[in-house]
Amino acid sequence: MKVKIRKGDTVEVIAGRDKYKRGEVIKVLPNERRVVVQGVNIRKKHQSEIQAQGRNLQPGIIEFEAPIDISNVMLVCPSCDEPTRVKIQREIDRVARICKKCGSEIA
Ligand SMILES: [Zn+2]
């Protein structure tokens, strides 16, 4: 199955701890079928002071977004502002994603 979600899309979480949260996709991991969504699935990591590329990073708690399964998010249509399924429409030079709710193309 093709991944229909792209970097920069807005998605809504439909399952799990962050259900109903929306955010922008900041990374797509197609091989793992996972996405990283801004502000979703926040994990905290304790970081001791380390040296990286000559800089000292401050020790403390680092918050970062962990990847979540792509089946747990739905693309939000920018036209109707609803989480929706998309229909793939093949055109000569590109593939268009069409919102199944309102029929608009999702850029
Ligand atoms: Zn729509």
- CA end-to-end distance (rounded Å), the chain: 20
Identify the structural domains of the chain with CATH numbers, from first to last: 1-75 (2.30.30.30), 77-107 (no CATH)
Q: What is the pLDDT of residue 103?
A: 97
Q: State in Å: Cα 82 to ligand 1 middle.
A: 6
C-alpha span between 55 and 37 (Å, rounded): 28
Per-residue pLDDT tens digits for 15-74: 999 999 999 999 999 999 999 999 999 999 887 766 666 777 677 888 999 999 999 999
Q: Say which residue the tokens 């990591």 belong to.
A: 45
- What is the pTM assigned to this prediction? 0.83
Q: State in Å: Cα 97 to ligand 1 middle.
A: 11
